Chains A and B, each alone.
Chain A
Amino acid sequence: MKQILHIAYRELNSFFDSLTAYVLIVIFLGFSGFFTWIYGADVFFLGQASLDTFFTVAYWSLFVFIPALTMRSIAGELKAGTLELLLTKPVSDWQLILGKFLSTFFLIGIALTPTLFYYFTLWGIGPVDHSAIVLGYLGLLLMSMVYISIGLLTSCLFSNPIVASLTALSIGIFFHIIFDVLAANFVGFTGSVFSFLSLSTHFESITRGVVDTKDLIYFFSISFFCLYSSKMILSNRNLQV
């Protein structure tokens, strides 16, 4: 466990050292703040103390940002040769994968933390549905988890970061939109399969305030599948630890 945190901490530091983290946080807060408070279907336009707009904006922007964050995680290390450095230290393949996963997950957490001000501000303005907001954040974190895992998997598959990022994005699009669109076009069993596969179905069901185990299983199983595949790809070059 310690190894995982050491790796995650180092990785997180390098996000901040390379300015990636600042750029991400500034753009993310800029976008979400703009659409939540100033423009379009913002809080004042809706006249409701709800953060639905924010969650929609975050839902989309994280989807775009995450592949850019994860693209280098394994591919970059492999290219720089530091993967060899790490894996010949007492670090197992799982610890490396989980460390990389956690670093990006923490970064998303850090980017989301300042938006708690939106929540407190809203609280001051009107009656807030607290559980909806808590679950909204939960939904965002679960969604990030899935996309980080997909990003890690593609970073293991392709040694070119750009290819890794674009592939993660295109796989993400299926979960984000295409399955949803397909679900709307099919009826019966096929329709419900696509609807189950679509990430937005589960995200919406959580943000609506219903946490079903089905949704949790969905998020965790996709993440686990991707992380496990990443680990297997990594181990193929190396020893099974």
Chain B
Amino acid sequence: MDIVVEHLTKRYGPQKAVDNVSFRVKAGEVLGFLGPNGAGKTTTMKAISCYINPDEGDVKVGGYSIKEHPEIIKKNIGYLPENNPLYQDMNIIDFLEFIAKIHGIPRYLIPERILDMVRICGLEGEKHKLISELSKGYQQRVGLAQALIHDPEILILDEPTTGLDPNQIVEIRELIKRIGKEKTVILSSHILAEVEATCDRILIINNGRIVVDGTAEELRKQAAGNEILKLGIQGGDVNDIFESLLNLETVDSVDFIDIDKQLFEVQSLKEETSVKPIFDLCVRNNYYISELTPTEKKLEDIFRQLTLH
């Protein structure tokens, strides 16, 4: 099922939480929804899962509009809300049974589905506990289990890894990846590494508007700009090497990273690469290269650059 968001706008009082946002997610795609806190991620997700009514625009899931056929959309969506609200006074099995019934899963299939979910989400040891007795990580798993229990085609996860310990984060990411092979997943986060690790495509949203839409690769390329090399040259005087590097035609600027180890940061001119000139330089002067690493701009930097204004 494709998700098509068309000119979605939602106001909370005078403030626009989401401002004319449009994008589409193809079936089978894992989309990472990134943005600083309060950027409009949650609002967009709430609109897709038919919880809030947008002021303008529309969302179509598999061709059905959220305004006209929410009941069909709701059946096909598994939604894990932010903060993972659960009925604290129920135990896991009863809770999952309730959710399964609400989804209209046939009675004879319910025990099987519940056991599947308990297994997939790693809840075996805890299944008879009250939800209020569970740690945050386990509660998060229950949240995932309730979103998955009816085997939905679309999964919407609002910050699924908040409050988990590093091991659990890895587990949940793997789970999402596994699920993502068969289903359409929209996942929100403000942690870049997470989105990079799990998603096919990244959507960065800031102040209610989409800033970037593309894969992690494209994103890097877009923001990368000039080539930056971390370079180590031995076999000569540091200052001589520095001078001759600066004199290369393709080089824009040179900085010292570490004078003792003779490490430099070499930035090339726009759309030029200095690798070959550097190599030729070393050959001419009998220097040798101890290190040559292209420095990639980190996604974090790109993210900050795009969302800080």
Contacts and interface: CB of A to CB of B under 8 A. Distances in A.
A237 interface: yes
Interface string B72-99: 0011010101010111111000100011
Ranked nearest first, the 10 interchain pairs of A and B with the lowest CB-CB distance are: A81-B85, A88-B49, A90-B74, A88-B79, A82-B85, A6-B101, A89-B102, A84-B81, A90-B75, A239-B70
A82 B67 contact: no
B53 A238 contact: yes
* Chain A residues touching B, range: 20 to 34
Contacts of B87: 10, 14, 80, 82
B46 interface: yes
Given A90-B103, A239-B52, 6 more contacts: A17-B89, A89-B103, A90-B71, A90-B104, A91-B102, A240-B53
Given A18-B89, A90-B75, A85 B81 contact: yes
Contacts of B94: 13
5 contacts: A7-B102, A17-B90, A80-B88, A82-B85, A88-B50
Interface in A84-113: 84-92
A3 to B, nearest CB: 6
Contacts of A217: none
From A18, A82, A239, name the one whose CB has the most chain B CB atoms within 10 angstroms: A239
A90 B102 contact: yes
A6 B102 contact: yes
Contacts of A89: 74, 99, 102-103
B90 A88 contact: no
A10 B94 CA distance: 9
Interface in B23-57: 46, 49-53
Given A14-B89, A17-B89, A81-B83, A88 B51 contact: yes
Contact of B51 (A10, A87, A90): A87
A161 to B, nearest CB: 15
A55 B71 CA distance: 43
Contacts of B148: none
Given A82-B87, A90-B71, A239-B66, A3 B50 contact: no
Interface of B: 46, 49-53, 66-67, 70-71, 74-75, 77, 79, 81, 83, 85-90, 94, 98-99, 101-104, 146
Interface string A197-241: 000000000000000000000000000000000000000011111
B249 to A, nearest CB: 60
A168 B70 CA distance: 32
Nearest to A3: B102
B71 A82 contact: no
B104 A2 contact: yes
Contacts of A14: 87, 89-90
B140 to A, nearest CB: 14
B50 A84 contact: no
A84 B102 contact: no
Contacts of B104: 2, 90
Nearest to B83: A81
Contacts of A84: 46, 51, 81, 85
Contacts of B85: 80-82, 84-85
A51 B87 CA distance: 41
A36 B74 CA distance: 51
B53 A239 contact: yes
Nearest to B75: A90
